[in-house]
Chain A
């Protein structure tokens, strides 16, 4: 089990040693900051609501972008062979990779925490800033990112090429992000299923501050399913 920690730590280390990570994180924060603050002053209301509707959209792109290299790069350079020759189980490798990628996304999100205090500072003295939805929002983002990183990791296990991995991961994320948007076109009994499958709909629940076990279970299960298939893909490369 320690192996998971070691792999995750190594993954984050080598991430932070490469310029790509800083570029991707920088662009993520730039976009998020720009789009959020450019409208904040127009609506004249100190709320993080817009932030939490923007962030999932950006994570659809940046989740797979940050996780595309996790396995694809090792396949390309051949280090995957050494990694799979260590006396560790395949699922430990996958979990280590997952937490490594997830850790980087968490670092990205940590950089947005100052936004909260900036916005709270804008609130007039006689009113108090409501931290409830913010905490809920961040919690939701964590769950949402975990599923996007898992999708990105699955995509990364399918190919040697990081760009291909990104595109596949992006398509997976977009699919689960947009699926509830087509629900309106469906008969009612179907619409329910589509909405349940949507990453965004569950995020909205959590961001509202409603912690429902169904939402948590949803994220846990799609993350688990993606990681399960990633492990299968690794096993297939041994055949």
Chain B
């Protein structure tokens, strides 16, 4: 057997998980390659956490397979777990322990040899910026620091794969930014699979996004592709020349006749001089044609801009009902 360098870090095939008659995951297949930072999105109850728990070896799937670095997480669970660092949802920690005590315990449980333990703990402390709190009880730490302790315990054994279940939930905006930059830093050396509800976070942190809905994969692409692939909306304001008149109907007819435009809607709230329209299109960007049309109709183009499709909109469209 050759160990190809292209071997995926995560390989999931037809994964299925049911709790009694409820199907949490309905046949999930995906692979994550080395060095990717993958955002795992989906509404609550879509099966994100369940998938992550199966990957980490905590839960048994009903059927299908999951492999970490080619190691089956069910048949060789212990071996597979050694390569994973996991930050569970809500980041449960032993509150009565000191940060240092806790990291020592984790290092022991992670079977780090005694000679290297001190060094690797120091490294994790340094990387997560825990220096000022190593001697404190975990129970008295702020949420931001608790999250860093969660990160430190996940990376202390230097795993190749980090699985982070909502790493920024419940943090304040400053802490969120700190944690995100930590994820980016860690993502340079490790493969990261993180779930989140903050779509802008996935957009800015991840190189790839998986969206699951109702236990099935509904999208798998780069953030850029996900926000560009299907058409968009252009905002246009047209005004008549001096002394002339312009009705909404005229503009609407002209714009609707452009190839590729799917719908035109007047914006009634527009207060200034002129007529404002929203132009929807499905494939090619029609801005050049809109400009030509307006010039040849002898009107004045006051404003034209493309409304960016946000990941939110893609997410809403893919995970509706």
- Name A residues whose Cβ lies closer than 8 Å to a Cβ of B: 2-3, 6-7, 10, 13-14, 17-18, 77-79, 81-82, 84-89, 238-239
Contact with A along B48-60 (1 / 0, CB 8 A): 0000010011111
Given A10-B105, A77-B92, also A85-B78 (CB < 8 A): no
Which listed residue, A3, A79, A87, A88, touches B94 by the CB 8 Å rule?
A79
Given A14-B97, A82-B153, also A87-B92 (CB < 8 A): no
Closest to B17 in A: A239
CA distance A84 to B106 in the complex (A): 12
CA distance A10 to B101 in the complex (A): 9
CA distance A126 to B215 in the complex (A): 83
Q: Are B92 and A82 in contact (CB under 8 A)?
A: yes
Q: Are A18 and B59 in contact (CB under 8 A)?
A: no
Question: Which residues of chain B come closer than 8 Å to A89, judged between CB atoms?
Answer: 78
CA distance A85 to B110 in the complex (A): 10
CA distance A89 to B76 in the complex (A): 11
Q: Are A87 and B82 in contact (CB under 8 A)?
A: yes
Q: Are A85 and B56 in contact (CB under 8 A)?
A: yes
- Give the shortest distance, in Å, between A236 (CB) and chain B (any CB): 10
CA distance A17 to B137 in the complex (A): 11
Of B56, B81, B82, B109, the most chain A CB neighbours within 10 A belong to: B109
Closest to B97 in A: A14
Q: Are B105 and A81 in contact (CB under 8 A)?
A: no
Given A18-B96, A85-B81, also A13-B101 (CB < 8 A): yes
- Give the shortest distance, in Å, between B150 (CB) and chain A (any CB): 9
Q: Are A85 and B86 in contact (CB under 8 A)?
A: yes
Question: Which residues of chain B come closer than 8 Å to A88, judged between CB atoms?
Answer: 78, 109
Given A77-B92, A238-B59, also A86-B109 (CB < 8 A): yes
> Which B residues between 46 and 104 are near A, CB-CB below 8 angstroms?
53, 56-60, 78-79, 81-82, 84, 86, 88, 90, 92-97, 101
CA distance A89 to B90 in the complex (A): 24
Interface of A is mostly: helix
Given A14-B97, A18-B96, also A239-B60 (CB < 8 A): yes
Interface membership of B225, Cβ < 8 A: no
Question: Which residues of chain B come closer than 8 Å to A3, judged between CB atoms?
Answer: 108-109
Given A14-B94, A17-B96, A87-B82, also A2-B108 (CB < 8 A): yes
Given A18-B96, A79-B93, also A85-B57 (CB < 8 A): yes
CA distance A89 to B81 in the complex (A): 11
CA distance A2 to B113 in the complex (A): 11
Question: Which residues of chain A come closer than 8 Å to B56, judged between CB atoms?
Answer: 85
Given A78-B90, A82-B88, also A87-B60 (CB < 8 A): no
CA distance A82 to B95 in the complex (A): 13
CA distance A77 to B58 in the complex (A): 16
Question: Which residues of chain B come closer than 8 Å to A87, judged between CB atoms?
Answer: 78-79, 81-82, 109-111
- Give the shortest distance, in Å, between A80 (CB) and chain B (any CB): 8
Question: Which residues of chain B come closer than 8 Å to A77, judged between CB atoms?
Answer: 92, 95
Question: Which residues of chain A come closer than 8 Å to B59, judged between CB atoms?
Answer: 238-239
Which listed residue, B53, B79, B108, touches A6 by the CB 8 Å rule?
B108
Given A78-B90, A86-B81, also A6-B105 (CB < 8 A): yes
Q: Identify 13 new A-B residue pairs, CB closer than 8 A, beyond the known A13-B101, A79-B93, A238-B60.
A: A3-B109, A6-B108, A10-B97, A10-B105, A78-B90, A78-B92, A82-B92, A82-B93, A87-B79, A87-B82, A87-B110, A89-B78, A238-B59
Q: Are B58 and A238 in contact (CB under 8 A)?
A: yes
A and B contact pairs by CB, cutoff 8 A, 22 listed: A2-B108, A2-B111, A3-B108, A3-B109, A6-B105, A6-B109, A7-B109, A10-B94, A14-B97, A17-B96, A77-B92, A77-B95, A78-B92, A79-B94, A82-B88, A82-B153, A84-B58, A85-B81, A86-B81, A87-B79, A87-B109, A238-B60
CA distance A182 to B169 in the complex (A): 57
CA distance A7 to B97 in the complex (A): 13
Question: Which residues of chain B come closer than 8 Å to A2, judged between CB atoms?
Answer: 108, 111
Closest to A16 in B: B96
Question: Which residues of chain B come closer than 8 Å to A86, judged between CB atoms?
Answer: 81, 106, 109-110
CA distance A87 to B90 in the complex (A): 21
CA distance A77 to B97 in the complex (A): 14
